[in-house]
Structure 1
């Protein structure tokens, strides 16, 4: 559906735009709260990080369909540790 919805004429186009908007805004908000709590570096751009991790979370299932040996949760956790510096 993601690929098909890239076409603005596709019926799911608006839905996917809204899904990404709501999802990334919510994640960016959570990251800002973490920064305020001191649990996330202020050097991280919450909007950029939210976009990147939302894309990663959406792309991993496509990879998993091809190679079910991929541990999607572990991949996300590893990416977060590397990005946020939480080793």
Structure 2
């Protein structure tokens, strides 16, 4: 199964420097970044290996990943704009 990768460097290539900066400057961002990538790896593993998992579980993982991505995006924009 072809799986699309969702790491933040692919999602926000224009924010690469800000991602690195916030990972070191913000503990909150760092935790969200780690959780996002852990969820991404697990979702991709489940999809690539076509492992049996109920739809509810994988959908919740994807929803959590989207929520994290949205929160980190807001932090990246604020950081970029000096807020």
Q: TM-score range by the shorter chain?
A: 0.3 to 0.5
TM-score of the two chains, using structure 1 as the length reference: 0.33
Larger radius of gyration between Structure 1 and Structure 2: 1
* Higher RCO (CA 8 Å, separation ≥ 6 residues): 2
